Chains A and B, each alone.
Chain A
Amino acid sequence: MFDYTFQWGQAMARLPRMLDGAVVTMQIAVLSMALGIALAILLTVLRLSGSRPLMAVATTWVEIARNTPALFQIYMAHFGVASFGLYLSPFASILVGITFNNAGYLTENFRGALKAIPDTQSRAGRSLGMSQIQAFRYIVMPQMLRISFLPMTNQMVWAILMTSLGVTVGMNSDLYGVTQDLNALTFRTFELFAIAAVIFYVITKTITLGGRLIASRLFRY
């Protein structure tokens, strides 16, 4: 039964190209994370704004991002948006899709973090003469970002894993896309994807452990 011969050499010879793909994967993940955090802060502000339409926008965003598959969101960014005559490149669609997803989940994380910050703090800021925006910007937000630092590293891992979905909209320069192209070339499916899996594992572990190390260094008190 077990007469399959592994050809690791053939697959290993393609390692440099796969590592190039891994760099693209990291670029997408880092970009989508940076944009996602910025958008999530914006959505958090909208949620706190007290204005009903603005809160509705934020809530709709968060609920759609959290209650539909990431693959659906990427399809939407690629095929759905194209119905309005806006054609996004594969790179742009995957970036938009993952950023949308990240922003939704991060906003929810921030909401949890805000609960841990006593209301008295922003009131103290206000009584020191700060405006509402200043109190949020200088007192609440830094603490919010600190508390949600570890959830953010988790989301970063998710972003890395989600980049593999780019292949469905024609992305072929990220780690999964490169692996699939090489697979079409060599048919060493198992070997190639096993190597890709190892690369993904190393990347995500580095992020998780690196995040913990940074957290223990920065937030000791």
Chain B
Amino acid sequence: MFDTSLTLRDLMFLAEGAGVTILVTAISVVIGTLLGILFGVIRTQLGPVLSAPLTFVLDIFRSVPLLIQLVLGNAFVGMVLQIQISGFTVACMVLSLYTSAYCAEIVRGGIEAVPETTRRAARSLGMTWGQDMRYIVMPLATRVALPSWIGLALGVMKDSALVYVVQVTELLKSTQILITRLQEPLFLLLICGAFYFIISFPLARFGGYLERRWSND
């Protein structure tokens, strides 16, 4: 195991894969969060009955394996619509929607954690709905939502390992390519696992710290 034929070039190849993982995650989390905030606000504004169709669609993204979502997304774009776009774009689109489905739930939880009386107080002070949202709800809801949001972002990074299915060579796929060539599965997998762990662990700890610090009791 210590006698490895891993060269610097191979290591660069892995680093490239890691870069793709981070890029896909970053794009998906940013777009997914924006969509998620939009969906979350719409859901709380419309109430459970009117927003039922949106809830149902978002529910699908949380109830179907991501692998199938990616395959379906790819097949839909490529075979049904017959548009030529890269696997990378498909991966980002599907992951963004996937993220938004979870994010909407987090945002809704955050908004609902703001006491109704506080919001009414804001409105009776003459604030508009927008001002109430901006100056009262947002700061309070962020405290509730941010720890879970960090968890979600890390979850998306881990789930991005599945985008190999639409021909995107991210970290785990590039590890697998190297395994096929070098035949050193354990060593290479440990490098790959260490990379995920090094990114995920400190952020997860930070999320846990915020959760403890910001909890009301």
> What residues make up the interface of A, taking CB atoms closer than 8 Å to B?
1-4, 63-64, 66-72, 75-76, 79-80, 82-84, 157, 161-165, 167, 176, 179, 189-190, 193-194, 196-197, 200-201, 204-205
Report the bound CA distance from A79 to B72 in whole Å: 28
A residues near B80, Cβ cutoff 8 Å: 2, 4, 190
Residues in B with CB closer than 8 Å to A3 are 82
Contact partners of A68 in chain B: CB under 8 A: 158, 193, 196-197, 200
Q: Which of A64, A193, A205 contacts B68 (CB 8 A)?
A: A193
Min CB distance, A152 to chain B, in Å? 17
A4 to B75, CA, bound (A): 11
Interface of B, helix, strand, loop or mixed by DSSP: helix
Number of interface residues of B (CB under 8 A): 37
In the complex formed, the residue of B with least CB distance to A197 is B64
| Residue B15 is within 8 A (CB to CB) of chain A in the complex | no
Q: Which residues of B contact A76 (CB under 8 A)?
A: 189, 193
Nearest B residue to A203, CB-CB: B63
Q: Which of A75, A196, A200 contacts B172 (CB 8 A)?
A: A75
Q: How far is the CB of A189 from chain B (nearest CB, A)?
A: 4
**Interface: B81 (CB within 8 A):** yes
Given B68, B192, B193, which contacts A197 in the complex, CB threshold below 8 Å? B68
B64 contacts across to A, CB distance below 8 A? 161, 197, 200-201, 204
Q: Does B71 contact A (CB under 8 A)?
A: yes
Who on chain B is nearest to A183 by CB? B71
Distance between B1 CB and nearest chain A CB, rounded to angstroms: 8
Task: Give the residue name and chain of the B residue nearest to A187 (CB).
Answer: B79
List, sorted by A's number, 29 A–B pairs whose CB atoms are closer than 8 Å.
A2-B80, A4-B80, A64-B197, A66-B200, A67-B200, A68-B193, A68-B196, A68-B200, A69-B161, A69-B172, A71-B161, A71-B162, A71-B172, A72-B161, A80-B189, A80-B190, A82-B185, A83-B184, A157-B63, A161-B64, A161-B65, A163-B65, A165-B67, A176-B65, A176-B67, A200-B63, A201-B64, A204-B64, A205-B63
- Please indicate the chain B residues that have their CB under 8 angstroms from the CB of A4 in the complex: 79-82
Taking a contact as CB atoms closer than 8 A, the residue among B67, B76, B190 that contacts A190 in the complex is B76
- A residues less than 8 Å from B204 (CB atoms): 66-67
Contact B186 A1 (CB under 8 A): no
Which of A68, A83, A84, A165 has most B Cβ within 10 Å?
A68
Whether the Cβ atoms of B81 and A194 lie closer than 8 Å is no
In the bound complex, residues from chain B placing their C-beta under 8 Å from that of A194 are: 72
**Other A-B pairs, 7, CB within 8 Å; known A3-B82, A200-B64:** A4-B79, A71-B162, A79-B179, A79-B185, A161-B64, A189-B79, A201-B64
